[in-house]
Chain A
């Protein structure tokens, strides 16, 4: 046993233990462990927000863990910045490629690692020759002189892999590599990744697609709520088991009982589309109702609510708000008509971070804070205190600046800002994203209270338990379309996940 353990130890290229990463107000990784064997493809899965991205950023030196150890080839390493990780042979290929579209393939491959000849000029001949050799070794026929931006996404992926290999990467991290690929392209990518594995490269594969996982991975690890849940050999795992571990948590303690009665129709969207983003989206929202809008990241949910609330403009379709057909050109118009949007990114879109709570909360309603044409500080103070009291914001006073608050309390300030208006329909885009558990529960309670007061709430959410526990109905989107609308009685994790997962792609004609 001791013997066996020893060999297993030597077999590991990467061993991560007890890694914790804390951001202000959130634990993004909580005591996470992970092992990667030499020449292994190890899938890492979890819901949105489970901690996968942070995990990768810690591995690639973008973030430094607050505690825990990373052993690379048995040696403890500290990756103080991304360059260190790259030098140690850890390379990542991101979902959104960070390529230089105006440069050639060869230049992209050797970006930051230029082929030099004395006294320090770039040797273009070597650059091209080495690039061609690398691409050939991947079985690809991409021309090293071609412009990066003119390649297909699949080809760009291959260039990124070549780039990683050019830096002698022994650990390759792939973040949703097949998200934008057709079936044939995915198959090609699979065979390239298998080839890498045969040569001894270890791969961490992050994917929402079970096809990817089951056709490539040797083992699979599940993260949930920033915690390590477990690792299984691929033979032991099936999709039902993985889904259970991804979503399985005790829901009942956490979520309040919703008691609101469903009333009249407040918002109706029919046949809404915006070219290139989503199409043919129809649903309706009633007073007292919490309607979920869910699906995978990139399914077009945020784009839909932005088109409804006037951030962007839909190309076709109709929006009916409280019986009147509307089309807004900016969020202010929507707010004036009773439709409020709580945006996804509270730091960039929701708040003026250096401003105080009371100044943030009063911003949309400044006109009502006037006395003899001048602003009344007393009125603004009252609005701030009211929000702090009503939403139980943890702050010393309304003068505390927004950037001094935790994520959950910041979110409450955004909410307070919208509640200061006279909205009846509340669109909340990922209201509990990056929010600690306590504040989550508080935000859920507020949502239930609002529903009971007759608000209609449209909640965009990626978190399945949240959708299942909070929503009366859920609109599930995939690839820019509504795939189905489920009633609460029909909610099952498997059903929602299945409706969210991209369709088995049909064979496309190769380019």
Chain B
């Protein structure tokens, strides 16, 4: 058993610790480079840009990834939901704002539910392909509704206070939308890791057939996960729109990849059965710290994407590499023992 550990210290094999170390490393590196602009309070302020909307989408994505499935339509779902909200509020002349938001959440739920229905109905199709088609479908509907127009003129508390407001907490200005994300996390954690339905989600992702034979309602589990993912996408769209102040059909393009990156960085496996809330949060923090620092140094969005790619390779591949090396050593040793 000791040989499996290889040269990598045992605690590094837990993704959460690896991420935590990288977070500290990133912070102190950039802080040394830009001691005035790269500080904790400023980083905290930037979370509204890099952390909250993607964070909510990643919470949904994690559920689908735990099942071993994937959903690349979340950004389109967010865009369609935000479009529905913007159009039904109509700058104050349409529905009351709370009704427009409710409609938005329902739209997200419906999009997710539709994805889920297709996935359980057409088991021979990969969820990747199914959600690739609904991606274009949802964004297409958003385009039909809005064309090249944008919808906005939202209430001030939404576009100003939620989007850019902060609350003073322990001497720090904490963005309100970050507080919203942090408030959701404990409930999400309890649901995923401590309830029967969360456990069943992991079971279905570990071995769908055995779960079905164990009496689990696997179709319903999948449907729920996809529907919740749609709902979280709409919530992500809600916070994204509060930041941008208006909705266009192109809003949030590419966010699905960011959401997947966060969840996978946080320890989810695309083959299912694994994932943790703590890892997801740490991955979010790491990406925020990294992107913010790179933006300060280079001010180039291209460098951001490149660095996310490198980080994924670093965190996901290297532990696997160590494991593979350790396994190989163990097999060689067994062979030698057999030869004797």
Interface residues of A (CB under 8 A from B): 311, 330-332, 335-336, 341, 343, 348-355, 359, 363-364, 366-367, 369-370, 373-375, 417, 421
Contact = CB atoms under 8 A, between A and B. Distances in A.
Interface stretch (B54-62, B79-87, B195-203): B195-203
Interface stretch (B25-33, B64-72, B210-218): B210-218
B199 A366 contact: yes
Interface string B163-202: 0000000000000000000000000001000111001100
A354 B273 contact: yes
Given A374-B190, A375-B196, A336 B215 contact: yes
B150 interface: no
B194 A375 contact: yes
Contact of A331 (B194, B212, B219): B212
B214 A364 contact: yes
Contacts of B190: 374
Contacts of A375: 194-196, 199
B206 interface: yes
B320 interface: no
Contact of B213 (A350, A366, A370): A350
23 contacts: A330-B212, A330-B217, A331-B213, A332-B212, A332-B215, A332-B217, A341-B213, A343-B213, A349-B210, A349-B213, A350-B210, A351-B207, A352-B206, A352-B207, A355-B203, A355-B206, A363-B214, A363-B216, A366-B200, A367-B196, A369-B196, A375-B196, A421-B215
B213 A311 contact: yes
Given A355-B206, A417-B214, 14 more contacts: A311-B213, A330-B212, A330-B219, A332-B215, A335-B215, A348-B207, A348-B210, A349-B213, A350-B210, A352-B206, A352-B211, A355-B203, A364-B214, A375-B195
Contacts of A332: 212, 214-217
Interface string B218-230: 1100000000000
B195 A373 contact: yes
B209 interface: yes
B209 A348 contact: yes
A349 B196 CA distance: 21
A387 to B, nearest CB: 14
Contacts of B206: 352, 354-355
A248 B199 CA distance: 47
Contacts of B217: 330, 332
Contacts of B207: 348, 351-353
Given A352-B203, A375-B199, A364 B215 contact: yes
Chain B residues touching A, majority SS = helix
Interface residues of B, number: 21
Contacts of A351: 207, 210
Contacts of A350: 210, 213
A455 B240 CA distance: 59
Contacts of A331: 212-215
Contacts of A363: 199-200, 203, 211, 214-216
Contacts of B214: 331-332, 335, 363-364, 417
A349 B212 CA distance: 8
Contacts of A343: 213
Given A336-B215, A352-B211, A366 B196 contact: yes
Nearest to A66: B338
A374 B215 contact: no
Interface string B259-284: 00000000000000100000000000
B211 A374 contact: no
A195 B215 CA distance: 54
Interface in B109-140: none
Contacts of A366: 196, 199-200
Nearest to B209: A349
Contacts of B212: 311, 330-332
A364 B203 CA distance: 10
A474 to B, nearest CB: 25
A421 B211 CA distance: 14
A244 B48 CA distance: 79
Among B215, B219, B273, max chain A CB count under 10 A is at B215
Nearest to A376: B194
A363 B204 CA distance: 11
Contacts of A311: 212-213
Contacts of B213: 311, 331, 341, 343, 349-350
Contacts of A374: 190, 194-195
A366 B214 CA distance: 11
A343 B207 CA distance: 14
Contacts of A364: 214-216
Contacts of B211: 352, 363
B266 to A, nearest CB: 19
Contacts of B196: 366-367, 369-370, 375
Interface string B35-46: 000000000000
A351 B212 CA distance: 11
Nearest to A365: B215
B13 to A, nearest CB: 15
A307 to B, nearest CB: 14
